[in-house]
Amino acid sequence: MKILKILCLILFCASCNSTRAVYDYDEQANFPSYKSIGIYPELRSGLSQLDEDRLLKSVEKILSERELFASSSPDLYLNIYTEQYQEQSRNTLGVGVGGTGRNVGVGVSGGIPLGGPETFLRLTFDLIDVSTDALVWQAVVDSKFNFNASPEERQNRFDKIVKEALNAYPPKR
């Protein structure tokens, strides 16, 4: 029973900080023919130069594992853009008042938010076929992001985001 409680606690903690990814791709694209990749010439990620460098370092590492290598005349262009947004913390403290009398019950309750708003980063990864200039694959990842984190923590976060984003590339039909 103790192991079950610990397992539930670990799953709960892991689910609170997970990234969410959504994928889409062109069914007509010939993904096995793509062997090289380049960064879109007009990349404007919306990140600081340091964060953009961290992101591109993570991308290069993951893409090389997928056997897509950087080239000056690539088969695919990678375009990345970001959007920051905030959501209210989902952690609340519940307060309730209730009363009964003569088989009648009345209750009032409410939630008090704990902590401030949480900052999220939405990254969109587009793979564009250079020869046709058509979007062939896209991933959109939403992840909690701390802009006050240390450089090492930011690099680790980008590694996780990119791994999740490129997890479904190449698509399995």
Residues 125-165 have pLDDT tens digits of 999 999 999 999 999 999 998 989 999 999 999 999 999 99
Task: Give the domain range for residue 25.
Answer: 19-86+115-168
Residue 97 in any domain: the answer is no
Contact 35, 138 (CB under 8 A): no
Helix then strand then coil, in percent of the chain rounded to 5, is 30, 40, 30
Residue 2 has pLDDT above 60, yes or no: no
pLDDT tens figures, 12-40:
444 455 678 899 999 999 999 999 999 99
Percent residues over pLDDT 70 in the chain: 72
Query: How many domains is the chain partitioned into structurally?
Result: 1
Residue 40 in any domain: the answer is yes
Residue 122 in any domain: the answer is yes
Question: Could you tell me the CA-to-CA distances from 86 to 21, 89, 130, 137 in Å, in that order?
Answer: 18, 9, 35, 27
The CATH number of the domain holding residue 34 is 3.30.160.670
Residue 90 binned pLDDT confidence (cut-offs 50, 70, 90): low
DSSP string for 57-73: HHHHHHHHHTT-EE-SS
